[in-house]
Amino acid sequence: MGEIPQFDHPVKDHLEIAEGLRAIDMARGAKVSGARFYFLRGVGAQLELAILNSAIDQATKAGFTPMITPTLVLPEAMEGTGFLGEHADEVYHLDKGDDLYLVGTSEVALAGYHKDEIIDLEGGPIRYAGWSACYRREAGSYGRDTRGIIRVHQFHKVEMFSYCRIEDSYEEHERLLGWEREMMARIDVPYRIIDTAAGDLGTSAARKYDCEAWMPSQETYRELTSTSNTTQFQARRLNIRERTENGLRPVATLNGTLGTTRFIAAILENHQQADGSVVVPEGLRPYLGGREIFEVVGSAA
């Protein structure tokens, strides 16, 4: 969806553009925290806040309850959502007497929110939009995407999460994808939708769609959002049920990314100008005081 931009100038990657805007500082991020950490500064920080605030605004208008969630969770929350299976080596674990996990998505906390509860779905799905910092070890990714903020250890994300009846989960999944597409239109980058093959699905998902944005510097598409229907997998493990005329049964749970730090990379690359400036997508301008362009300010001090 959307036309791939054609540039009359040498294409820069998002980090080179960000350095001209003084928006991302990878060197000092590594100095403070090690590889794959960074500082967002100036317009970089403002752009991330614009992305996340617009995502929360969109979700709220769609009927989601905004939530700021814990980023440390107990083992049963991580296990119940399926994150301690084949991808357990990507999760940070605090084992010095705490036995807590740092989440890679607010999906974990939002799924655990109704653990051991019977919830009422008579009025339709219960929807939350969680804003959280997220942490991933990126184990096994050494040498991949080491430049810039495509693959990092810490980022922010707004995640949609829905509880619904199993019969309604398939239509709900399409709705989550539709809201993701609205967000992709807001940042105005070319993208494609991938219906993930069954063999590539994770432990919990029965079906997953990815929205992949075009990255001009790499001449390829990279994942920006995903949405999964986990049907009753998580609810069975977390004991989240609903009452039906035939008794209690597990509900269905679904999740979907609505905004995240990685959006910055796609915006900078697709909206770059020959002089190093970046045109602000129209959909984000209301969240940046009406600002229309990010101007070059020189190399970072």
**Average pLDDT for residues 215-229, to the nearest whole number?**
94
Instruction: Give tens-digit pLDDT for 7-40.
Output: 989 999 999 999 999 999 999 999 999 998 999 9
- Quick: pLDDT tens for 249-289: 999 999 999 999 999 999 999 999 999 999 999 999 999 99
Q: Which of 293, 266, 260 is nearest to 56 (CA)?
A: 260
* Ordered domains of the chain (ranges, CATH): 14-287 (3.30.930.10)
DSSP 8-state symbol, 42: T
Tell me the DSSP string of 98-117: T-EEE-SSTHHHHHHTTTT-
Structure confidence by residue, pLDDT tens digits, 98-110 = 899 999 999 999 9
Instruction: Return the SS3 of 279.
Output: strand
Q: Which tens digits make up the pLDDT trace of 41-73?
A: 999 999 999 999 999 999 999 999 999 999 999
For residue 143, is pLDDT > 70?
A: no
The pLDDT confidence band at residue 298, using thresholds 50, 70 and 90, is low
Of 73-77, 177-181, 206-210, 252-256, the poorest mean pLDDT is in: 206-210
Q: Is the pLDDT of residue 301 over 60?
A: no
Distances (CA, A) of 141 to 85, 150, 161, 197: 18, 12, 27, 21
Angle of helix 43-61 versus helix 14-21 axis, rounded to 10: 110
Cα 41 to Cα 24: distance, rounded to the nearest angstrom: 6
Average the pLDDT over 115-125 and give the result: 96
How much is the pLDDT for 300? 47
Task: Give the residue numbers marked as catalytic.
Answer: 136, 151, 223, 226, 262
pLDDT-wise least confident of 37-46, 108-117, 164-173, 289-298: 289-298
How many Cβ atoms are within 10 Å of 112's Cβ, its own excluded?
Answer: 22
Whole-number pLDDT of residue 260 = 96
Cα 192 from Cα 221, distance rounded (Å): 8
Strands 65-68 and 126-135: parallel
Given a cut of 90, whether residue 89 has pLDDT beyond it is: no
Nearest to 124, CA basis, from 63, 176, 182? 63
Residue corresponding to tokens 């339709």: 124
* Interval 218-233 mean pLDDT: 94
**Res 202: pLDDT:** 66
Q: Residue 285 and residue 274: Cα distance in Å, rounded?
A: 21
**From CA 150, how far away is CA 78, in angstroms rounded?**
24
* Share above pLDDT 90 across residues of the chain, in percent, rounded to a whole number: 82
Q: What distance in Å separates the CA atoms of residue 83 and residue 108, rounded to the nearest whole number?
A: 8
Residues sharing a CB contact under 8 Å with residue 157, sequence separation 6 or more, in sequence order: 52, 105, 106, 131, 132, 134, 257, 259, 260, 261
What angle is formed at CA 34 by the lines to CA 30 and CA 35, rounded to 5 degrees? 80
